[in-house]
Amino acid sequence: MTKQANEEVPDAGGDLAGRHIVLGLSGGIACYKAAELCRSLIKQGASVQVVMTEAAEQFITAVTLQALSGRPVYTSQWDSREANNMAHINLSREADAILVAPCSADFMAKLLHGRADDLLSLMCLARPIDKVPLLIAPAMNREMWAHPATQRNMAQLSSDGATILGVGSGFQACGETGDGRMLEPPELLEDIIAFFTPKVLAGQHVLVTAGPTYEAIDPVRGITNLSSGKMGFAVARAAREAGAQVTLVAGPVSLSTPRGVTRIDVKSAQNMLEAVMQQAPAATVFVATAAVADWRPASSAERKIKKDGSGQAPQLAFTENPDILATLAQSPRGLSGALFCVGFAAESHDLKDNAQAKRRRKGVPLLVGNIGPATFGRDDNALLLLDAQGSRELARASKLSLARQLVAEIASRIKRAG
């Protein structure tokens, strides 16, 4: 038998580098997802120690999780491999967090009562409560999830200091459909990374625009651009990781919504302006990453424009679109600083001069310049931050890493101003 589970190299610069996670599995069909979760944690640089209950071993073998984690799995409180025979103490003392995924309804009830008749529950109870956070990813049938006992247990566990990561919704292994599925491994990973991120934007409400806009010519044609929306989605994710409440107004893009972010889909620049104006009163930060079309056809035909056989192209007239960023930056809350406005500038040349001129024209305290054709659709970018004092480069990196640097910059400016 060959085992090739560790073919993907852990990322030393990953989002969980240096973190040690104890991954606890209780009994449930979602144990199959724990294998992928274990792998994802390791890929992000974490070390993972797996602990399984007897019920979990009915669903997945310790061999699989040992191969994926690269460490022997613990299943019993009577494990003589530990010199002092106190696995529950030793394992919990070295953890940066204990993550129970899946956490069954029964295991939640057990945790709630502080019962400790197997290694995993014993270890959760024995953990230093102020130093080792407990994260719970529930997984159960929809009726079990909706049951008042489970909801009561969840509320109590959360007030006892545990972090409940929520559940997914959809088709369940039992054949029913509803709430209670364990979150998917990429969702859990995003939540765990967010959990460890310092909450520098706590209490802020960040409004982000992202992607292109689509300006209709007729029912089947329109004008758009090559913006992928990736930078804006990364900003939304980074702001949520930093503890902000985030609303993302997105043009037509095919990207999944970052965890915990409220998304409003729009098509045209006018739709985007309307959505932004509706959300703006509650926002404290506005980040305009969208590549808004500068013009739209003066009128959109109700029916498809057909060739008339003359060989002549139709004459299209254009109207300028509203400038969403300038509208907010020039609003009373924008001018007073109650709404901190950040613009982006997609330029093709003379980045510094063009971007600085744009910053002044739009009246924003901070503008982020980048070379449009060099970034559209890519996962990385290089940025230039410009304010009234001058400019600073952010070296080429992934859009998520740049978004996190930008969020840190925004947070420190708000703090200074406040």
Residue ranges binding ligand CTP (CB under 6 A):
209, 269, 288, 290-292, 294, 321, 323-325, 343-346, 358
Query: E strands within 252-359?
Result: 262-265, 285-288, 295-297, 318-320, 340-347
Question: Residue 61 or 271: which CB sits closer to ligand CTP?
Answer: 271
Cα within 13 Å of Cα(52), Cβ side: 25
Could you tell me the smallest distance in angstroms from the CB atom of residue 244 to ligand CTP? 19
Question: Residue 188 or 249: which CB sits closer to ligand CTP?
Answer: 249
User: Do 119 and 50 touch, CB atoms closer than 8 A?
Assistant: no
Question: Residue 167 or 325: which CB sits closer to ligand CTP?
Answer: 325
Structure tokens at 3: 């085992």
User: What's CA 104's distance to the chain center, in Å?
Assistant: 25
Could you tell me the smallest distance in angstroms from the CB atom of residue 319 to ligand CTP? 12
Could you tell me the smallest distance in angstroms from the CB atom of residue 380 to ligand CTP? 19
Could you tell me the smallest distance in angstroms from the CB atom of residue 321 to ligand CTP? 5
164 residue type, one letter: I
Pairing of strands 390-398, 380-387: antiparallel
Question: Residue 321 or 381: which CB sits closer to ligand CTP?
Answer: 321
Q: Tell me the Cα Rg of the chain.
A: 25
Question: Residue 29 or 346: which CB sits closer to ligand CTP?
Answer: 346
Could you tell me the smallest distance in angstroms from the CB atom of residue 350 to ligand CTP? 11
Question: Residue 11 or 347: which CB sits closer to ligand CTP?
Answer: 347
Q: List CB contacts of 103: < 8 A, sequence separation 6 or more.
A: 24, 26, 111, 136, 137, 138, 139
**Alpha helices by DSSP H, 8-134:** 31-43, 62-69, 87-93, 105-113, 119-126
| Cis-peptide, bond into residue 102, ω within 30° of zero | yes
User: Do 237 and 258 touch, CB atoms closer than 8 A?
Assistant: yes
How many residues are there in the chain?
Answer: 418
Please count the other Cβ atoms lying within 10 Å of the Cβ belonging to residue 203: 10
User: Could you give the angle at which helices 185-196 and 31-43 cross, rounded to 10 degrees?
Assistant: 50
Tokens 């802020």: give the residue. Answer: 204
Distance CA 410, CA 415 (A): 9
Distance CA 382, CA 355 (A): 14
Could you tell me the smallest distance in angstroms from the CB atom of residue 59 to ligand CTP? 48
User: Do 20 and 69 touch, CB atoms closer than 8 A?
Assistant: no
Could you tell me the smallest distance in angstroms from the CB atom of residue 146 to ligand CTP? 42
Residues annotated catalytic, as ranges: 174
Distances (CA, A) of 105 to 88, 143, 201, 205, 344: 22, 11, 34, 34, 47
Question: Residue 145 or 376: which CB sits closer to ligand CTP?
Answer: 376
